[in-house]
Chain A
């Protein structure tokens, strides 16, 4: 029996790994996690001339478009902050969330070939997405800080050095918060898209609509009273608004809304993980 203890022993039966997350397995496959993070990151801008520069250009171009359409043409308020900073800071949290949702939301479909042939803890793939999207978040944060520095030097905007330091210290906490929510939503969607392809087409719309429902291109103060319930329900609203408030000093949302958002994120993440685990067991039978 002592020899048997050396080799990994596996029991295969129905309905396993549904309520419990295979942490041991994920730790065993940590090398895979890092390789996948690398793959996600590197493969995204392969065979492009600008390469990783797209990570910088992407939010800048989006910001430019928003400035043009929403600020210049439509005249949507940016709470007294230069529009570029307003949109960039909103996109900071929002991009991480939306990238995570749309990439994790197709986990099963985009990895059929992998999942159909070899076993590893499936959760490794969405975890890798959490990390690889964090890298793009990091680049985006640096871009934002660079733009901020430019505007401060030009004297068009002012920041407190202390406030900025606190913001940077709190950023990891915000990231964890967004990761919980984005992962949860992404995992739920992945289970749906695996079985019913309709959701695959719906995901981009849902993400888009969700963005307009969140204070990315407008301040929360601009939301009409009758839509206030939407802000309360939307866990992304306080994240976007408060992260911006940290960096730019715009008015934050109430603490209780933030607490509610944290609670919602935890709940969504737990449900997402459970549904994902349940789907992962046999999804290959109906894909």
Chain B
């Protein structure tokens, strides 16, 4: 059997925490004169292990998904793989040229023309001049910027810029391609182009692709195998479905309705200028009153979410969102103030919010709930919890119940079926 195209052996990455100041400068001078680098120092309490003894292989032609929560070490691993930084321990063998679609536009110089930047960016990505010349026409055609080829790229619209950048990256011919979906945020059109390109690379060219994503749908569609990272360690390796189920299953505990759930233990990301503190969800009836006796959520229940946020300063937020994910991590519902065109004002201190939903078309089961708070469009989030807890949707009981086996659709919505003018379900129930 052929050797794996990427083999990662016991890779660890240690970061030294703390400020760079006079003390660290002195320490460094000292360690220089004592003739050893930081690598030789024992791990101190201020050290942080971003990757801990990570090992796995990627076979040639495989499309491998790399999944994990924020801070699980995905980006660190990518940085090491693309040789931007070095591991503190361990070894990686790459058998082939590696390129990454997250490098679009790297090295573009705003003052230079599109034509000059094609050569600059191509060379930065490791293409030879001959190679660029050979593909020049294709790149120009793909990017649809032929009219502006001699205009400085600083005058390009952002769309043109991205198209040109992507066209160059897409014409690389690496044996290994890395795609970090998180970094390709923003332009939906561009994301689709990326994904289409990856699919074609996988199908027709047999490239090895390492795909990092939060988007479970895409991971499910593209990747045969997955690696799950958790706190810098490999938690699971295997077929995508099994790994993704573990990823979203292990995410957070199931919390029933009607109780406050503290979010202090959840995995927060973002600037933390404001943080989600606790949350409670309950069923409400059609006029918006809480349904007291059990509060359980059934398919097509209206739900009230009460959220408490602690803010360090006054923030006018562009987006406050609550997101419901399926077990496989597919984003099912996103209750986002953006879709209301609203800004949310946060005072310093405690802030309470309430979200009342229309009937939620969910099948019985457990659903991960995530939170997002973004101060400005495109700014890093103030707080982001990918999966805070799992919400339970109970199987309906009693007379009004559709307690038959449910369809395996992602969501559910009630329906009528008739035969010769008579209602079919009445017939079968009778």
Question: A-side interface residues toward B, CB under 8 Å?
Answer: 3-4, 7-16, 28-29, 31-32, 34-36, 38-39, 42-43, 46-47, 113-120, 195-196, 278, 281-282, 284-286
* Chain B residues near A120 (CB-CB < 8 A): 124, 126
- Kindly identify, within residues 104 to 155 of chain B, every residue whose CB is under 8 Å from any CB belonging to chain A: 106-107, 109, 111-112, 116, 119-120, 123-129, 152
Q: How many residues of B contact A (CB 8 A)?
A: 49
Q: Which residues of B contact A14 (CB under 8 A)?
A: 39, 86-90
Neighbouring B residues of A285 by C-beta, 8 Å: 15, 85
Pick the residue among A13, A114, A281, A284 that contacts B107 (CB under 8 A).
Answer: A114
A-binding segment of B76-84, B232-240, B260-268:
B76-84
Flag if A12 contacts B92 (CB, 8 Å): yes
Known: A7-B96, A43-B112, A46-B152. A114 touches B83 (CB 8 A): no
Known contacts A13-B92, A31-B129, A196-B20, A39 near B112 by CB under 8 Å: yes
Residues of A within 8 A of B88 (CB): 14
User: Is residue B376 contacting chain A, with contact meaning CB distance below 8 A?
Assistant: no
Residue of B nearest to A12 (CB): B92
- Chain A residues contacting B89 (CB-CB under 8 Å) are 14
Q: Of B2, B83, B90, B111, which contacts A43 at CB under 8 A?
A: B111
Chain A hits for B120, CB < 8 A: 35-36, 39
**Pairs across A and B, CB under 8 Å, 13 listed:** A7-B97, A13-B91, A14-B86, A14-B88, A14-B90, A31-B123, A35-B119, A38-B116, A39-B109, A39-B112, A46-B111, A113-B107, A118-B107
Chain B hits for A10, CB < 8 A: 83, 93-94, 98
Instruction: Note all chain B residues with C-beta closer than 8 A to A36.
Output: 120, 123
Measured between beta carbons, the chain A residues less than 8 angstroms from B98 are 10
Which residues from chain B contact A195 at a C-beta distance below 8 Å?
20, 28
For the complex formed, measure the closest distance between the CB of A82 and the CB atoms of chain B, giving whole angstroms: 38
Residues of B within 8 A of A3 (CB): 2
In the bound assembly, the distance between CA atoms of A286 and B119 in angstroms comes to: 30
The residue of chain A having its C-beta at the shortest distance from the C-beta of B79 within the complex is A284
Q: Is the CB of A8 within 8 A of B97?
A: yes
Tell me the bound Cα distance from A4 to B94 in angstroms: 11
- List chain A residues, Cβ under 8 A from B119: 35
B102 at the interface (CB under 8 A from A): yes
Output the nearest chain A residue to B82 by Cβ-Cβ distance: A119
Known interface pairs A38-B116, A47-B111, A284-B85; 20 further A-B residue pairs with C-beta atoms within 8 A, sorted by A's residue number: A10-B93, A12-B86, A13-B91, A16-B86, A29-B123, A31-B128, A31-B129, A35-B119, A42-B111, A42-B112, A43-B112, A115-B84, A117-B84, A117-B106, A120-B126, A196-B20, A278-B37, A282-B86, A285-B15, A285-B85
Q: Are A118 and B109 in contact (CB under 8 A)?
A: no
Residues in A neighbouring B390, C-beta threshold 8 A: none
CA distance in complex: A8, B98 (Å) = 10
Minimal beta-carbon separation of B57 from chain A (angstroms): 15
B25 in contact (CB, < 8 A): yes
Inter-chain contact A29/B107, CB cutoff 8 Å: no
A8 to B82, CA, bound (A): 14
Bound-state CA distance A130–B96 (Å) is 31
The 7 closest A-B pairs by CB, nearest first: A119-B83, A32-B123, A46-B111, A12-B92, A35-B123, A10-B94, A31-B129
B310 adjacent to chain A (CB < 8 Å)? no
Residue B416, interface by CB 8 Å: no
Q: How distant is A20 from chain B, measured CB to nearest CB, in Å?
A: 15
B102 to chain A, nearest CB (A): 7
Interface flags, B59-90, vs A, CB<8A=1, else 0 = 00000000000000000000111111111111
Which A residues are CB-close (under 8 A) to B84?
115-119, 284
Given contact pairs A7-B97, A9-B93, A196-B25, A39 touches B116 in the complex (Cβ within 8 A):
yes
**Pairwise interchain contact A281-B86, C-beta atoms closer than 8 A:** yes
Q: Contact: B3 with A4, CB < 8 Å?
A: yes
Q: Is the CB of B109 within 8 A of A43?
A: yes
CA–CA, A113 and B105, complex, Å: 10
A117 touches B102 (CB 8 A): yes
Which chain B positions have C-beta within 8 A of A113? 106-107
Question: Given the complex of chains A and B, what is the CA–CA distance between A8 and B173 in angstroms?
Answer: 13
Partner of B94, one of A12, A16, A35, A43: A12
Tell me whether B392 is interfacial, beta carbon within 8 Å.
Answer: no
Give the docked Cα–Cα distance between A34 and B130 (Å).
13
Taking the closest CB of chain A, its distance from the CB of B284, in whole angstroms, is 48
Contact residues in B for A12 (Cβ distance below 8 Å): 80-81, 83, 86-87, 91-94
Chain A residue, CB-CB nearest to B92? A12
In whole angstroms, how far apart are the Cα atoms of A13 and B85 in the complex?
A: 10
B residues near A117, Cβ cutoff 8 Å? 82, 84, 100, 102-103, 106
Q: Contacts of B95 on A, CB cut-off 8 Å? A: 4, 7, 9
Q: Would you give the shortest CB distance from B173 to chain A, in whole angstroms? A: 11
Complex interface residues of chain B between 367 and 424 (CB less than 8 A to chain A): none
Q: Which B211-265 residues have C-beta < 8 A from chain A?
A: none
What distance in Å separates the Cβ of A132 from its nearest Cβ neighbour in chain B? 13
Q: How far is the CA of A44 from the CA of B120 in the complex (A)?
A: 16
The residue from B25, B96, B103 contacting A118, defined by CB atoms under 8 A apart: B103
Nearest neighbor of A45 in chain B, beta-carbon distance: B111
CA distance A119 to B102 in the complex (A): 13
* B175 at interface by CB-CB < 8 Å: yes
- In the complex, A115 Cα to B95 Cα: how many Å? 22
B12 nearest CB neighbor, chain A only: A14
Select from chain A the residue with minimum beta-carbon distance to B21. Answer: A196
Report A-chain residues with C-beta under 8 Å of the C-beta of B92. Answer: 11-13
- Closest Cβ of chain A to B59, distance in Å, is 14
B20 / chain A contacts, CB cutoff of 8 Å: 195-196, 286
Residues of A within 8 A of B129 (CB): 31, 34-35
A9 to B176: give the CA distance in the assembly, Å. 12
**A120 CA to B82 CA, complexed, in Å:** 10
Question: Which residues on A sit within 8 Å (CB–CB) of B97?
Answer: 7-8
